């Protein structure tokens, strides 16, 4: 059991009531940087996959500001759409794809020939991917990057931001020059390899995960929406003994066969009952909850990489396990 990474997150609002009203805070609010996040998604009306070996195709992304970002227009000057290009082999490169975006929300066209020229490539090839995120420029000239080689993607960790329509915040939109998906790897009825990790070598464990394939009729309408159908979605139930506690957690994962995107909704994955004891003589009844997942499929390896939050919710509060990384290797059958 990974005792070192468990953080108690019981919320006690009474302790916070007077703090926000104190006129003499121990830090200068006027000197802090006020900024905001921008969610980036692919526009499904256009091409969803990169055309390997070509700069053809129509590619658009939608930029939206999550709720509760305040009056960002008072300091916002413009946004830049930044492309982070990861080749199948070689170094990561970045380039500004579009500049001068002054109105949000916006739908932005990507000029693929011009972008490839900036990146110094002829065209994307199989295994390459382009991830688009947003740089924000303030009226005073301050630039808040969406990505840097040192920090990676801004807002990369699981986020609680939501868009006005209730959809999830996306720190980037990914277009892949992907190999065709090997659907046989996702047929279900087998046990695959799952690897969980946290930090730089602080913790890692691998274990088996049983996979069940859903019928099309079991795919919720909110997963495929108006742009796709249930037959476009691979619905999976992944069962594994998370933390080795003896409880089989059941997590639902959905893979879009049209653009190879992966959706893992916020969900209860298991319950603890009166037989469950956690560092105590008293049993705890509650549920395990996965949320704020970001997931990506590598069609060449059939590995789904996931970053998400996990928590144990019981009557007295919530025990947070923070953000974990997972690899579900559908190509490795145990």
**Could you read off the pLDDT of 60-106 as tens digits, one per residue?**
999 999 988 888 989 999 999 999 999 999 999 999 999 999 999 99
> Is 278 part of any domain?
yes
Identify the domain boundary among 176, 201, 225. 176
The answer on pLDDT for 170 being more than 80 is: yes
Q: Please indicate, yes or no, whether residues 188 and 123 belong to a single structural domain of this protein.
A: no
* Overall domain count for the chain: 2
What CATH number corresponds to the domain at position 154? Answer: 2.60.40
- Look at residue 10 and tell me if it is in a domain: no
Q: Would you say residue 14 lies in a domain?
A: no
Sequential DSSP letters for 19-84: GGG-SS-SS-GGGSPP----EEEE-TTS--S--TT---S-EEEEEEPPTT---GGGTEEEEEEEEE
| Same domain (yes/no): 90, 201 | no
Average pLDDT over all residues of the chain: 86
More confident residue, 1 or 204: 204
Q: Are 41 and 62 in contact (CB under 8 A)?
A: yes
At residue 273, the pLDDT reads 82
Q: What is the pLDDT of residues 51-70, one digit of tens each?
A: 999 999 999 999 999 988 88
Which domain, by its residues, includes 249?
182-333
Do 203 and 311 fall into the same domain?
yes
85 and 200 within one domain: no
Asked if residue 239 and residue 144 are part of one domain, the reply reads no
**Predicted local distance difference test score (pLDDT) of residue 282:** 64
Q: 59 and 172 share a domain?
A: yes
pLDDT(24) > 70: no
pLDDT tens column, 117-131: 999 999 999 999 999
In a domain, 5, yes or no: no
- 182 phi and psi angles, rounded to 5 deg: -90, 90
Confidence tier at 199 by pLDDT (50, 70, 90)? low
Quick check: 269 and 218 in contact, CB under 8 A?
no
In a domain, 147, yes or no: yes
What is the model's pLDDT at position 155? 85
3-state secondary structure of 184: helix
Q: In this structure, are 194 and 57 located in the same domain?
A: no
Whether 186 and 325 map to the same domain: the answer is: yes
Any domain includes 164: yes
- State whether 43 and 168 are in the same domain: yes
Domain boundary among 153, 176, 199: 176
Asked, for residue 127, whether it belongs to a domain, the answer is yes
Residue 117: its H or E element? helix 112-119
Report yes or no on 277 lying in a domain. yes
* Tokens 């959706």 belong to residue: 263
Q: Identify whether residues 167 and 197 lie together within a single domain.
A: no
Tokens of 50: 């990169």
Q: Are residues 191 and 279 in the same domain?
A: yes
Domain boundary among 133, 149, 176: 176
pLDDT digits (tens, 9 = 90+) for 229-286: 999 999 999 999 887 777 789 999 999 999 999 999 999 999 888 877 766 666 678 8
The percent of residues in the chain predicted with pLDDT above 70, rounded, is 86
So what's the pLDDT on residue 7?
Answer: 31
Q: Are residues 238 and 145 in the same domain?
A: no
Long-range contact pairs involving 218-225 (C-beta distance under 8 Å, separation at least 24): 219/254, 223/254, 223/263, 223/265, 224/256
């Amino acid at each position: 059991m990974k005792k070192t990474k468990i953080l108690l997150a019981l919320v006690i609002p009474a302790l916070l009531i007077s703090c926000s009203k104190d006129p003499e805070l121990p830090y200068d609010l006027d000197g802090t940087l006020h900024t905001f996040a921008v969610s980036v998604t692919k526009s499904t009306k256009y091409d969803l996959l990169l055309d390997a070996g070509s700069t053809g195709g129509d590619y658009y992304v939608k930029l939206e500001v999550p709720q509760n970002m305040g009056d960002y227009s008072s300091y916002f000057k413009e946004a830049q759409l930044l492309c982070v290009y990861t080749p199948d082999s070689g170094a990561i490169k970045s380039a500004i794809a579009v500049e001068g975006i002054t109105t949000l929300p916006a739908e932005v066209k990507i000029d693929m020939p011009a972008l490839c020229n900036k990146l110094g490539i002829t065209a994307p090839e199989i295994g390459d991917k382009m991830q688009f995120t947003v740089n924000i420029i303030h009226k005073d000239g301050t630039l808040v990057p969406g990505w840097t080689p040192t920090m990676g993607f801004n807002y990369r960790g699981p986020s609680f931001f939501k868009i006005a329509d209730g959809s999830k915040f996306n720190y980037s939109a990914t277009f892949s020059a992907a190999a065709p998906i090997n659907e046989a790897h996702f047929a279900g009825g087998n046990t695959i390899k799952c690897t969980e990790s946290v930090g730089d070598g602080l913790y890692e464990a691998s274990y088996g995960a049983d996979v069940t394939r859903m019928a099309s009729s079991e795919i919720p309408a909110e997963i495929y929406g108006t742009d796709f159908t249930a037959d476009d979605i691979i619905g999976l139930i992944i069962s594994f003994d998370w933390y080795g506690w003896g409880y089989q957690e059941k997590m639902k994962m959905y893979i879009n066969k049209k653009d190879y995107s992966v959706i893992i909704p916020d969900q209860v994955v298991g319950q603890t009952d009166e037989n469950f004891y956690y560092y105590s003589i008293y049993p705890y009844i509650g549920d395990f909850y996965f949320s704020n997942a970001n997931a990506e499929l590598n069609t060449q390896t059939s590995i789904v990489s996931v970053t998400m939050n996990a928590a144990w919710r019981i009557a007295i509060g919530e025990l947070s396990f923070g953000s974990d990384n997972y690899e579900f290797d559908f190509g490795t059958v145990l």
